[in-house]
């Protein structure tokens, strides 16, 4: 994790965050605050590693900000909502958020989730990124290469493809279980570290997004196949890297 993580809290009721901000500061985080209107200015003024984003705000809503942040900045994003709305959570995750938390919450849980996302979203230096082109710790998935050590995804030509921490966790679950059918519940447990809920479509949404990034023809997936009544299965291609250092988990 970053030695001195910087967190940006985005909300239209910043005063209501005083207690949580104090708790985060007590645990070693540098915390900045911004309204929806001042997010872009704050991102320019500070080096931010993670954003805590209130979804329901007047003016520009949190979902559009999630999209902007994911497209423009390599950082972690945790959505915060006062309403336990499954559809809203799914939309936020689909836009690119790493996690979602319902308020009010225990400050200890918030810190734990922040640390978890930060661990998974540390982006490599240029030297590490260059090393990602080697075969060490790499897995060929579709038209891309997943580096299990640096948590990065690249094209076969070496260009980096942005992915969220949860997208990496999902790809890692597939990469370490080749040619094995994984149910949605298993994938939720391995990649999202939580149990499924009735009608939970988050795995289907993430698989669809990943296919658009890794498959040569996303509408005809060859790397991550749908197994009717079973779930999904990663099928290594003939170009699967021969010197992978990972070991398939039992």
Residue 217 has pLDDT above 60, yes or no: yes
Average pLDDT (220-242) is 81
Token pair in block for residue 117: 């996302």
Residue ranges of the chain that CATH labels 1.10.10.10 = 126-234
| Alpha-carbon span 225 to 220, nearest angstrom | 9
Measuring CA to CA, which residue among 231, 213, 72 is closest to residue 145? 213
Residue ranges of the chain that CATH labels 3.40.50.2300 = 6-120
Residue 67 has pLDDT above 90, yes or no: no
Predicted pLDDT at 246:
37
CB neighbour list of residue 61: distance below 8 Å, 6 or more residues apart: 36, 55
Average pLDDT (153-168) is 83
List, for residues 90-140, the tens digit of each pLDDT value: 777 877 888 888 877 888 888 998 988 888 766 443 333 333 344 457 889
Measuring CA to CA, which residue among 85, 108, 127, 79 is closest to residue 20? 108
Predicted pLDDT at 167:
86
Measuring CA to CA, which residue among 142, 174, 133, 139 is closest to residue 245? 139
Q: Per the confidence metrics, is the pTM higher than 0.95?
A: no
CATH fold for domain 126-234: Arc Repressor Mutant, subunit A (1.10.10)
Quick one: residue 194, left, alpha or beta (phi over 0 = left, psi -120 to 50 = alpha)? Answer: beta
| Alpha-carbon span 183 to 26, nearest angstrom | 40
| Alpha-carbon span 130 to 159, nearest angstrom | 10
| Alpha-carbon span 156 to 159, nearest angstrom | 8
| Alpha-carbon span 174 to 137, nearest angstrom | 14
Element spanning 25, H or E: helix 18-26
Measuring CA to CA, which residue among 206, 223, 245 is closest to residue 156? 223
Predicted pLDDT at 122:
65
Q: With contact defined as beta carbons under 8 Å apart, do 139 and 146 qualify? A: yes
Which homologous superfamily does the CATH classification assign to the domain defined by 6-120? Response regulator (3.40.50.2300)
**Residue 249 neighbours by CB distance under 10 Å:** 10
Strand order in the sheet with 152-155: 138-141, 144-147, 152-155, 160-161
Predicted pLDDT at 8:
92
Residue 148 has pLDDT above 80, yes or no: yes
Residue 15 has pLDDT above 70, yes or no: no
List, for residues 18-43, the tens digit of each pLDDT value: 888 888 888 889 999 888 888 888 88
Predicted pLDDT at 124:
42
């Amino acid at each position: 994790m970053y030695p001195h993580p910087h967190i940006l809290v985005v909300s239209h009721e910043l005063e209501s965050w005083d207690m949580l901000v104090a708790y985060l500061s007590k645990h070693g985080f540098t915390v900045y605050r911004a309204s929806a209107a001042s997010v872009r200015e704050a991102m320019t003024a500070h080096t931010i590693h993670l954003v805590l984003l209130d979804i329901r705000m007047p003016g520009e809503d949190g979902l559009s900000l999630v999209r902007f942040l994911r497209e423009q900045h390599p950082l972690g994003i945790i959505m915060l909502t006062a309403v336990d709305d499954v559809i809203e959570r799914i939309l936020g995750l689909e836009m690119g958020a790493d996690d979602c938390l319902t308020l009010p919450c225990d400050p200890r849980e918030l810190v734990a989730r922040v640390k978890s996302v930060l661990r998974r979203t540390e982006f490599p230096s240029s030297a590490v990124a260059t090393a990602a082109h080697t075969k060490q710790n790499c897995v060929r998935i579709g038209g891309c290469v997943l580096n299990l050590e640096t948590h990065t995804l690249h094209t076969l030509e070496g260009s980096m493809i942005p992915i969220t921490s949860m997208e990496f966790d999902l790809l890692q679950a597939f990469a370490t279980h080749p040619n094995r059918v994984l149910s949605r519940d298993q994938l939720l447990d391995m990649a999202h570290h939580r149990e499924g809920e009735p009608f939970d479509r988050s795995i289907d949404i993430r698989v669809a997004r990943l296919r658009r990034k890794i498959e040569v023809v996303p509408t005809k997936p060859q790397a991550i196949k749908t197994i009717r009544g079973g779930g999904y299965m990663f099928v290594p291609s003939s170009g699967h890297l021969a010197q992978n250092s990972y070991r398939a988990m039992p």
